[in-house]
A and B are shown apart, each in its own frame.
Chain A
């Protein structure tokens, strides 16, 4: 059974940093593109980052480019999201997701971890 378990969320002050983790199991992690998707309270879904199978290619929307970094450790079947210079608008539940290329279908999702950016 595919499982994605996020951790690392919490309350953080504006301008500070936070690193999220996603532990994957039930599939060969190194074979799949992985992504982070977020959802602000009472709002819709927003794609945040995607990383290729080897980690050599990463993609971001303009809203987080230069502030967020996605990475992976295939030996540990783990995905990460380093978030720097956090803003109040980054407050959201962050989901880890497994993608199916080439269309990038988000076939599996974790339960999410809440990040609150507030002073």
Chain B
């Protein structure tokens, strides 16, 4: 089973600041998915297949990575980006899915 470790656990960023959230896998994987969740709401699909933005996601967001290290980057923080972000990976067989522990991003 793959274990996903996100860092940092919490962080605060000022408007306009660049933000990077990292997800590290316990073994090499070929992709990573990301979700955004705001308090009291359902998670939203955010980035899939490492770098593809889900529908409606602003292009200030990007995803990258390979092997055991993946990241979600916001080029310029905006107030609406304050949320918790989770990464997700699938183990091969039998299929199981594991989420990272989450990164809470706050507005400074």
Contact = CB atoms under 8 A, between A and B. Distances in A.
Interface of A: 35, 37, 44-47, 50, 59, 61, 95, 100, 103-112
Among A44, A50, A105, A111, the most chain B Cβ lie within 10 Å of the Cβ of: A105
Interface string B3-44: 000000000000000000000000000010101010000111
Interface residues of B, number: 23
B42 A59 contact: no
B102 interface: yes
A88 B101 CA distance: 21
Given A47-B96, A105-B33, A107-B45, 12 more contacts: A44-B100, A45-B43, A45-B99, A47-B98, A95-B43, A103-B48, A104-B90, A105-B49, A106-B45, A107-B48, A107-B54, A109-B43
Interface of B: 31, 33, 35, 37, 42-45, 48-49, 54, 86, 88, 90, 94-102
Contacts of B95: 50, 59, 104
B45 A44 contact: no
B31 A109 contact: no
Contacts of B98: 47
Chain B facing A: main interface SS: strand
A69 B18 CA distance: 44
Nearest to A108: B45
A44 B94 contact: no
A105 B45 contact: yes
Contacts of A47: 96-99
Given A45-B99, A61-B96, A111 B43 contact: no
Given A50-B97, A105-B33, A107-B45, A44 B86 contact: yes
